Amino acid sequence: MREQLLSTVRHNCHIADARHAADYTLCTYLMKMRELYRWEHGYPLDQELDSNTVGEWVRQREAYWESLSEQEFRALPVNVDRVDPFDHDSVNECLLPHGLVYSSGLGRQAAAHFFLGELLEQKHCDGYTVLISGRELARDLVSPPAMTRGNVIFLRRESLKRLLWERVQEWRWNRCENPLGKALLHYGLDDDLEAGLESLVDDQMEMVLLHEIGEVNAGQEIESAWTSQLMSVAGSRAELQLRAIRDNLADAISTLPFLLANGRPELIHFYFATFGPMRRDLSPSIHAAYQQWCESGDLRVIATEVERLRAHWEQIMRQAMAIRGERPAARVTALIEGNRL
């Protein structure tokens, strides 16, 4: 059963990639394909890859995806049943006792994601079931390190480690005196790269979990409207902006209060090092508060801004969810861009 299940999940991953690989810019696409090649072939993170070999693999994979363009996702063979690939609860009811974990769902631009991995840990936190995976057995091109479905939070340690390795590489090449550099100096990567990376992953697993809890809390009042509104603007700038303000709100609810209470400088630096361009564009004041903290060491400047951030984006989120009728994407964008904080 395991081999048939694995084959089916991988097949669904290929279909998802065939449908959505073209959503990325060429540069991002090639980077993701290179790392997918590394993962499929089991090469270490720091192993140099032959560009010609990777290029030929990409051409073969694209040809295979072309053959899948008209296919539908397959039901999963679980025990004697065939289960809908998006019914993760039914699948995991059978898999968790055997040390496996499965997740599925829709991400940006309504792109499907599927994943099968070895269960590393199962725990409960703030009313949520948290399923943490280790070695990944089936994944798609995007491979998000976290996803929440209902009251279940899926955390993927291997996926997160790959993302963090890219950040570490970036720092090792440039050695800039920026938020990333300030954060990574704490982990002793020059002395013991593997131990430092594992310590970084440990810390960021906690941060990712806090963000997921914050996202769920941020959506409690608007969840019924969230999915329909997101689908109405799928693929537009408005979709990215809605996700960005929900991320900002989630962190104001959960992640940032933890960072302020904990007070570890390396975690604060890393948080702002990974604060994406759109999130920074919509909430420039929180980044300005971070710069003030760097100069003064006074966390109160960030704490004050967090309170403003939460109240502001809660209000804008409610207004965005109320938008109906014609041209919702344009109206959502106008609302959000007219209310930067």
36 and 98, same domain (yes or no): yes
pLDDT digits (tens, 9 = 90+) for 6-23: 999 999 999 999 988 887
3-state secondary structure 242-295: HHHHHHHHHHHHHHHHHHHHHCCHHHHHHHHHCCCHHHHHHCHHHHHHHHHHHH
> Using an 8 Å Cβ cutoff, are 309 and 248 in contact?
yes
Task: Determine which helix (DSSP H) or strand (DSSP E) holds 9, and give its type and residue range.
Answer: helix 2-20
Q: Is position 222 within any domain? A: yes
120 and 9, same domain (yes or no): yes
What is Dmax (Cα atoms) for the chain? 63
229 and 297, same domain (yes or no): yes
147 and 223, same domain (yes or no): no
107 and 210, same domain (yes or no): no
| Beta-carbon count within 10 A of 59 CB | 10
Q: Is position 100 within any domain? A: yes
40 and 150, same domain (yes or no): yes
pLDDT surpasses 90 at 127: no
Place of tokens 């949520």: 128
Q: Is position 221 within any domain? A: yes
DSSP 221: T
Which class for 72: exposed (0-12), middle (13-18), buried (19 or more C-beta within 10 A)?
A: exposed
- State the Cα angle at 333 between 332 and 339, rounded to 5°: 95
Q: Is position 191 within any domain? A: no
Return mean pLDDT, the chain: 91
> Using an 8 Å Cβ cutoff, are 172 and 185 in contact?
no
Partners of 154 in beta bridges: 131, 147
Q: What's the rounded mean pLDDT across residues 91-112?
A: 89
Among 101, 128, 157, the domain boundary falls at: 157
> Distance between alpha carbon 208 and the CA centroid of its chain, in Å?
8
Q: Helix H segments across 96-235?
A: 157-174, 179-184, 193-218, 223-232
pLDDT digits (tens, 9 = 90+) for 296-324: 999 999 999 999 999 999 999 999 988 88
pLDDT surpasses 70 at 1: no
Place of tokens 């059963």: 1
> Using an 8 Å Cβ cutoff, are 154 and 47 in contact?
no
151 and 201, same domain (yes or no): no
Q: Which residues of 175-200 are buried (b: 16+ CB within 10 A; e: fewer)?
A: eeeebbebbbebbebeeebeebbebb
**CA-closest candidate to residue 156, choices 142, 136, 178:** 136
pLDDT of residue 251: 93
Q: Which residues, including other chains, have CB under 8 Å from residue 277's CB and lie 6 or more apart? A: none
Q: Is position 178 within any domain? A: no
Among 90, 125, 157, the domain boundary falls at: 157
pLDDT digits (tens, 9 = 90+) for 149-201: 888 999 999 999 999 998 898 888 877 788 999 999 999 888 888 999 999 99
144 and 206, same domain (yes or no): no
Residue 318, domain extent: 197-337
21 and 146, same domain (yes or no): yes
pLDDT of residue 249: 92
Confidence of residue 62 (pLDDT cuts 50, 70, 90): very high
251 and 117, same domain (yes or no): no
Task: Determine which helix (DSSP H) or strand (DSSP E) holds 100, and give its type and residue range.
Answer: strand 100-106
Q: Is position 181 within any domain? A: no
Partners of 149 in beta bridges: 152
**Amino acid in position 115:** F
Partners of 76 in beta bridges: 83
332 and 223, same domain (yes or no): yes
324 and 262, same domain (yes or no): yes
> Distance between alpha carbon 66 and the CA centroid of its chain, in Å?
27
Q: Which residues, including other chains, have CB under 8 Å from residue 66's CB and lie 6 or more apart? A: 18
pLDDT surpasses 80 at 222: no
SS3 301: helix
Among 157, 189, 224, the domain boundary falls at: 157
pLDDT of residue 210: 94
Domain count within the chain: 2
Q: What's the rounded mean pLDDT across residues 72-89?
A: 89
Judged by average pLDDT, the poorest of 45-49, 128-132, 231-235, 318-322 is 231-235
Q: Is position 129 within any domain? A: yes
Place of tokens 């960005």: 244
Helices 193-218, 157-174: axis angle to 10 degrees equals 120
Q: Is position 173 within any domain? A: no
